Structure 1
Amino acid sequence: MVHPTAPDTATVRPAADPLFNQSLEKGLDVLRAFTAAHRTLTLSELAQLTGMTKGSAQRTVHTLQVLGYVGKHPQTRRFQLLPKVIEIGFNYLAAHPLIRVAHPYLSQLATASGETASLTEPVGTDMVFVAQLLTTQFIPVLTPVGMRIPMYCTSSGRAYLSQLPEAEARALLEAAPRPARTPATLTQVDAILERIAQCRQVGYATNCEELFLGDMGVGAPILNSKGQPVAAVHLSPPTSRWTLEQVQQKLAPMVIECARAISQSITH
């Protein structure tokens, strides 16, 4: 996945922008430095991860402490995020009309398929989970709301890319790091574009253990009133319960219908 402090390709600011607030940028960089791999950080580690001087990092962290977004672990005294940061993301989710519209359709999809149904939106070269209905059955990988997954090797990402002009899809793929997450991961742009072209023809995209071992995906794009992709819906069937052929035959039609229903609902 993209490093938490790496800029999204769609939001890189111009070199000269008199209205840009660098202090706010630094504060957001500090918040984004905390990840599952970096749950607690020292001041020196924060400075290194964000590219700040130690003095600048200290001022930024102190401000976030005063505001209640960052605190210190009671035992290690290392910095960590506090629950208040959830408010920022929750406000986006609570006010998002697409999530409200999609929820009943995701619920129907999860019930009919017996698998976890998710809604994702594009962020740079990634897709981010914005809604999810979990199955009661075993799932090999936890993908909570807020988690980002790369477009190039996921069904939701490929479904989204399939509805973009080919030049735009290629540019996004070329801009993204494309490491081999598993032995099955496609990393060459032309090979990925072939899969995307197949999705364009059949209406859905697949991923078989390209992101996580034991995990598959089948996704379809959600389009707005102008026919532009805005999100994707996908199921996450594990290889312990499904073969790829079974996924294509049984689950793909359900995913296509769910995405179509959501698309129609947001265009009226």
Structure 2
Amino acid sequence: MDAWPRIPLEDDPADVLRKAMRGAGLDSRTLAQRTGLDAATIAGWTRGDGVPRDDEARAVATVLRLDPGKFADAAARRWYPDAEIPHDVRHHPHDPHPSNGYLFFLGDGKTAALIDPAGLPQTLLRAVNDGPYALRYILITHKHADHCDATADVARAFPDAQIVMHRSDAHAIGALAHRALPVADGDDLPFGDDAAIRMLHTPGHTDGSSCFLFRSTVFTGDTLFAGSVGGIFADVSTYADLLASVRLKLFALDEATVVMPGHGPPSTIGAERAHNPFF
């Protein structure tokens, strides 16, 4: 495995608190009433003005249905994932977006798949050509621009690569949507002679949000981050759907499975079960 620089978690305690409050439908005043804490203080925490003490963190977590101990650890910044990039994965930034892009490849070192074509096209094209790889798939986790706005450029450069994107989000890539393979939850995409990529439909962040499992690595887009989850920007799917997607589909994977998220550092399924305050 390759070492990963120690970059900040995608979500700080204020982000976690805001997401949990939106998910529960509670504002600072209501949360204060239910916990006996000061509303202005809670509002300050949501802005990043201080963090709750352990007892305060446990009190708000209980009302918000977060795990009290895990949220207290998050508020005190006592946890950071200890995970590395698998040897068959390459990471590249999505400049100017603050999102992660990945290439993963077969043991022959020639055939690859790209996760989320976004940002500066030349970065993506260089990443593929530097392999050099034969690009088999362009896998898109969801519809947001910071994960798919370079799809046309990559598809033009690699016309034989198959675009894979859930039909609920495929409209985001315009005319290329008709080229997207119509995959469904649990479908396997053949990859080489003895490997496959499994698509897991994980609605919540968006209606078409999907994760891609390759061997012992899962690329989670904005469904699951180290220590947090994505926000809800779906038309139909809900916060409850997002939590169920993680619990029932991602947490069903082996605990050693490496989580490569759309933002922030990598983690593992075991670490997220043990430390993610949303579960």
| TM-score (ref. length: structure 1) | 0.28
Q: Which structure has more helix as a fraction of its residues?
A: 1
Q: Which structure has more strand as a fraction of its residues?
A: 2
